[in-house]
Amino acid sequence: MKTIEIGGHQETIIERSDFPIEKCHEILKDEVTAILGYGPQGRGQGLNMRDQGFRVIIGIRKGRSWDKAVADGWQEGVNLFEVEEAAKRGTILQYLLSDAGQISSWPTVKANLEPGNALYFSHGFGIVFNEDTQIVPPDNVDVMLVAPKGSGLTVRTHFEAGRGINSSWAVHQDATGRAKERCIATAFAIGSGHLFETTFADETHSDLTGERCVLMGLIQGAFLAQYEVLRENGHSPSEAFNETIEEALQSLYPLVSEKGMDWMYSNCSTTAQRGALDWAPRFRDALKPVVAECYQKVISGEEAKIAIESNSKSDYREKLELELEAVNNQEMWQAGRVLRALRPENLVE
Ligand code: NAP
Ligand code: MG
């Protein structure tokens, strides 16, 4: 356990050494963890728990995810079941269906929650927006959250590489008096690095803002704005793509991740340094009102309503594929495909 102080704010970080895996086994020794859903998170968390010797079963409908689970060695009737059967067998239910799937499966899951069970989420959405989702757990179960701060894919690949993804944790409801230890033991069982505490509301609001802004929406918008300006001014696709995306993701951002922004500034040319220092505040001023508007729409529930409504439509996937195809067809990402294939490591000798 480490107390850190940043900007006058104190936080407690829980590290792996505070909860060695034997201690997690001791805490979870009587539990059957049922992972409901086998998307990126269900798969990553489930395989990591299985590899670490925890009693874990998967609950999923027949189809795409089911087939993936079979390919990963889960066996029907042994540790692979339909959602209802797994919910019945589990004492800790890890609710890792898509947010829309959580809404439609809730009556089934709720009916199979017994007193003293724990309901676990990796995102607070269902609970925080319960006016829209109708997900209101009974009082006699623990309700907890472990939210890995990375994609489910990295939850798995980091674990395999002996590393871990940092996760936030929260207890929303402590019916048994053991919610915290169940939550933290599970967090390390799924392969987390270190843990910081949050609430369901804070996790949800920051997560929705992050993905709409700097993690995905804003960055795609920023990439496109620069790529288009360069192309409109006669620069070649190679030049526009390399100067916008390739250099950012392959070279500069990993260095910023490792060493911080001041290091980046002090290790580029003085010309780059002067320009970046001068332009950064202008971008901050231009973007901050948009981020603030987005945050307001997240906390008002407007963004949740939009997501639930569109994701619950039966033709959601087809519509989404058309939208993604349009992104894929942007010249910027066409350039990306062509140029990625030319990276030395991707060339077949
Ligand atoms: P996802 O892609 O959102 O969910 C896919 C899973 O849900 C699939 O196994 C899918 O099965 C199943 N599913 C959807 N609707 C269903 C229904 N009506 N009945 C039964 N199963 C249904 O998965 P995810 O990205 O792993 O996310 C799971 C949870 O983790 C979410 O709460 C998410 O917010 C949270 N989380 C995700 C990430 C991330 O990076 N992805 C990071 C942190 C937290 P089919 O294949 O059969 O459709
Ligand atoms: Mg997230």
Separation of alpha carbons 207 and 215, rounded Å: 10
Do 186 and 215 lie in a common domain?
Answer: no
Is there an atom of ligand 1 within 6 Å of 215 CB? no
Cβ of residue 41 lying under 6 Å from some atom of ligand 1? yes
168, 236: one domain:
no
Q: Is the beta carbon of 46 within 6 A of some atom in ligand 1?
A: no
Atom of ligand 1 nearest to the CA of 151: 40
Q: Are residues 80 and 145 in the same domain?
A: yes
User: Contact 141/113 with Cβ under 8 angstroms?
Assistant: yes
**Residue of 43, 97, 154 to test ligand 1 pocket, by largest number of atoms within 8 Å of CB:** 97
Q: Is the CB of 167 under 6 A from ligand 1?
A: no
pLDDT at 256: 96
Q: Read off the pLDDT band of 344 (50, 70, 90).
A: confident
Is 204 within the bounds of a domain? no
Please indicate whether residue 123 is annotated as part of the active site. Answer: yes
Task: Tell the burial category of 222 from Cβ atoms under 10 Å away from its Cβ (0-12, 13-18, 19+).
Answer: middle
Per-residue pLDDT tens for 222-276? 999 999 999 999 999 999 999 999 999 999 999 999 999 999 999 999 999 999 9
Across 50-74, average pLDDT: 97
Cβ–ligand 1 distance for 105 under 6 Å, the answer yes
Whether the CB of 126 sits within 6 Å of ligand 1: no
How open is the CA angle 130-36-316, to the nearest 5 degrees? 65
Which candidate, 33, 7, 38, places its Cα nearest to that of 90? 33
The Cα–Cα gap between 316 and 100 comes to: 11
Confidence category of residue 349, pLDDT binned at 50, 70, 90: low
CB atoms within 10 A of CB 224: 16
Q: For residue 154, which ligand has an atom nearest its CA? A: 1
Quote the crossing angle between the two packed helices 316-328 and 302-311, to the nearest 10°: 110
Examine the domain organization and report whether 193 and 222 are in the same domain.
no
Domain assignment present for residue 239? The answer is: yes
The burial class, CB within 10 Å (0-12 / 13-18 / 19+), for 5 is exposed
Residue 282 neighbours by CB distance under 10 Å: 9
Q: Which of 150, 157, 165 is nearest to 195 (CA)?
A: 165
> What range does the domain containing 80 cover?
2-199
- Sign of the dihedral through C-alpha 343, 346, 348, 349: positive
Minimum-distance ligand to the CA of 155? 1
Candidate list 9, 25, 123, 172, residue with the active-site label: 123
Q: Which residue carries 């994701």 as its tokens?
A: 311
- Domain end point (choices 199, 225, 243): 199
Same domain? For 184 and 305 the reply is no
How many folded domains does the chain comprise? 2
Tens of pLDDT, residue by residue over 143-195, are 999 999 989 999 999 999 999 999 999 999 999 999 999 999 999 999 999 99
Considering the domain architecture, whether residues 179 and 250 belong to the same structural domain is answered as: no
Residues 183 and 253 in one domain: no
Domain end residue (candidates: 173, 199, 225):
199
Q: How far is the CA of 216 from the centre of ligand 2 (A)?
A: 11
Q: Is 284 exposed, middle or buried (0-12, 13-18, 19+ CB in 10 A)?
A: exposed
Mutate to test the pocket of ligand 1, among 45, 72, 80, 98 (most ligand atoms within 8 A of CB): 98
Does residue 99 carry a pLDDT above 90?
A: no
Q: Tell me if 35 CB under 6 Å of ligand 1.
A: no
> Residue 148 Cα, ligand 1 centroid: separation in angstroms?
14
Give the C-alpha separation, 49 to 188, whole Å.
Answer: 9
What CATH number is given to the structural domain containing 168?
3.40.50.720
CA distance 143 to 93: 10
What is the band of 345 on the pLDDT scale with cuts at 50, 70, 90?
A: confident
Going from the Cα of 270 to the center of ligand 2, the distance in angstroms, rounded, reads 36
